Amino acid sequence: MSSTETITRAEVCAVACAEIFSGAGEIMASPMSPMSIIGARLAKLTTEPDLLLSDGEALLFADTPPLGGKAPIEGWIPFRRVFDVVASGRRHVVMGANQIDRFGNQNLSAFGPLQRPTRQMFGVRGAPGNTVNHATSYWVSRHTSRVFTDQVDIVAGVGYDKVDPANPAFRFHNLHRVVSNLGVFDFAGPGHTMRARSLHPGVTAAEVAENTSFEIHGLADAEETRLPTAEELRLIRDVLDPKNIRDTEVPS
Amino acid sequence: MRDKRMSLDEVVGELRSGMTIGLGGWGSRRKPMALVRAILRSDLTDLTVVSYGGPDLGLLCSAGKVRKAYYGFVSLDSAPFYDPWFAHARTSGALVAREMDEGMLKCGLEAAAARLPFLPIRAGLGSDVPNFWDGEMRTVASPYPDADGRTETLMAMPALNLDAALVHLNIGDRHGNAAYTGVDPYFDDVYCLAAERRYVSVERIVETDELVKTVPLQSLLLNRMMVDGVVEAPNGAHFTLAGDSYGRDEKFQKHYVQSAKTPEAWQQFVDTYLAVSEDEYQAAVREFAQEAKK
């Protein structure tokens, strides 16, 4: 059995990322970074066996390989088909973010003015389509007030204050969770603002407040994020991430 | 049947400054890089480019050839991910950006392929995408109310009509039948359907019967109606990956990124790799690979 006495912050984050998919059922899980990939695969190996997972390129895995590993496949999902899945809604994506505001608007495009940015990143990628079509969560490996900002420079991922309640085209918008190296959050605060669900063991409310530009609802009352079970630790350490890549995202 | 074989420079000779040109592939994957290098050797300028952007867009920006870009993203797909020349063009305000959701780019090409003025799509609603378009992008209301009598208003993605499409595939014949090998067709067929003039470079040109014996039917992405010119360009997607033919030249892509950092390094990169013929490029690239092994 794996030791539960030396549980790292990264391992707590991996389980919090897995819980993003609790109850997801038979949909495509699309995690976009090592930690959220570990999380999605952990969910598939524990409570969510019907999740569909791809190799990040064009193949659907039949089995659940370690990070960077290969596995037998069960199907084909080239990029053009991913857009069909997006439009179908049968998907939950976990994207990264350069900025997130209190209503869940997200930016991964660029900083500064639209037509003459001060720093160029990816452009909006699939963020606008993801956020209006299906469940979207975010993983932030370094929770800072630069990321959790009052106003994002460019809205790539749509936040709750951009939803037009009179237009049913927005009815599938659903920002499910934000998991960071400090805690687990959602947008169930007043007016769909960011709310603290739990803080990771050892993290204080003051530390989160210091590293967030806006007020997070329920911060003082947040529970402690649960620890991994012995079985989850075994899967993380021995099966999914034996090379300990998770520590490069969240140092212990 | 028409023999459509051409040289790289003959293809570029059929393009004009100011054209709207679609570039196939995706990020740093199966990009028509030999055709892009041929554009760099030409005096073409003032281009509008439509692309799932990668180093194709970057190289065109390095030579100041792009006036306007329609893209869902620009990525090198491996570290450092952001293309340095696209970033430079953007931060210096050198081009007009028509940024959009990735799915909107597919949608706009499909509208053009079907000769429709627009197609409705959910993606884009509520985001800053319309603000990138300076009024060029509108919404459309459904004439069919939903079960509660409400009207769904969607983005009216305008057709992305192309003057020319440039794509690179793995194998083709002299008439324009062509196939991809590997895991993903990307959107190269849709680019060709959306364009007035269509040019495909291929790793190798074979007889038609060999083509259809070599790949499964489902890989025959392009037929003769979709192609005006065929170029044989082995290693023509370098330094991007090309399905079963070869992977990405990660070392060379990193060298491209490093070289963009100073004017001196870039001039050296241009002299060695860009201000030369395609054959000389390929020879210099082989030499780079030899050096990198030492």
Determine the residue among B66, B82, B101 to mutate to test chain A binding: the one whose Cβ has the most chain A Cβ atoms within 10 Å: B101
- Torsions phi, psi of B87, nearest 5? -60, -40
Q: CB-based contacts of A166: which residues, under 8 Å, 6+ apart?
A: B150
Interval B59-72: pLDDT, tens: 999 999 999 999 99
Average pLDDT over residues A213-241: 98
State chain B's mean pLDDT as an integer.
98
Is the CB of B126 less than 8 angstroms away from the CB of A170? yes
- Report pLDDT for B219: 98
Convert the pLDDT of each residue in B96-150 to its tens digit.
999 999 999 999 999 999 999 999 999 999 999 999 999 999 999 999 999 999 9
Separation between Cα atoms, residue B163 and residue A98, nearest integer Å: 36
Say what the pLDDT of residue B276 is: 98
| DSSP structure string for B196-265 | EEEEEEEEEE--HHHHHHHS-GGGEEE-GGG-SEEEE-TTTTTTSBBTTTB---HHHHHHHHHHTTSHHH
What does the pLDDT average to over A37-52? Answer: 98
Chain A interface disruption, residue of B99, B104, B180, most A CBs within 10 A: B99
Tell which of B73, B106, B119, B127 to mutate to test the A interface (max A CBs under 10 Å).
B127
Residues of A in contact with B97 (CB under 8 A): 114-115
Q: Which residue of B has its CA nearest to A166?
A: B150
Mean pLDDT score, B154-179: 98
Interface predicted TM-score (ipTM) of this complex, two decimals: 0.97
- Count CB neighbours of B166 within 10 A: 35
Query: What is the pTM assigned to this prediction?
Result: 0.97
Output the pLDDT for position A1: 45
Give B242's strand partners. Answer: B246
Distance (Å, rounded) from C-alpha B181 to C-alpha A70?
20
Looking at chain B, the whole-number percentage of residues with pLDDT higher than 90 is 99
Q: What percent of chain B is predicted at pLDDT more than 70?
A: 100
Q: Is A167 on the interface with B (CB under 8 A)?
A: yes
Å between B76 CA and nearest CA of chain A: 10
- Amino acid in the structure at residue A61: F
What pLDDT does residue B293 have?
87
pLDDT at A96: 98
Q: Which two tokens stand for residue A72?
A: 């037998």
pLDDT category at B294 given cuts 50, 70, 90 is confident
Residues of A within 8 A of B183 (CB-CB) are: 57-59, 76, 78
Among partner residues B72, B86, B151, which is closest to A120 by beta-carbon distance? B86
* Chain A positions in Cβ-Cβ contact with residue B127 (cut-off 8 Å): 124, 127-128, 131-132, 155-158, 162
pLDDT tens digits for A80-131?
Answer: 999 999 999 999 999 999 999 999 999 999 999 999 999 999 999 999 999 9
B 234-263 near A (Cβ less than 8 A): none
pLDDT over 70 (residue A4): no
Interface check A228 vs B, CB under 8 A: no
pLDDT in tens, B228-277: 999 999 999 999 999 999 999 999 999 999 999 999 999 999 999 999 99
**Tokens 């030249």, residue located:** B249
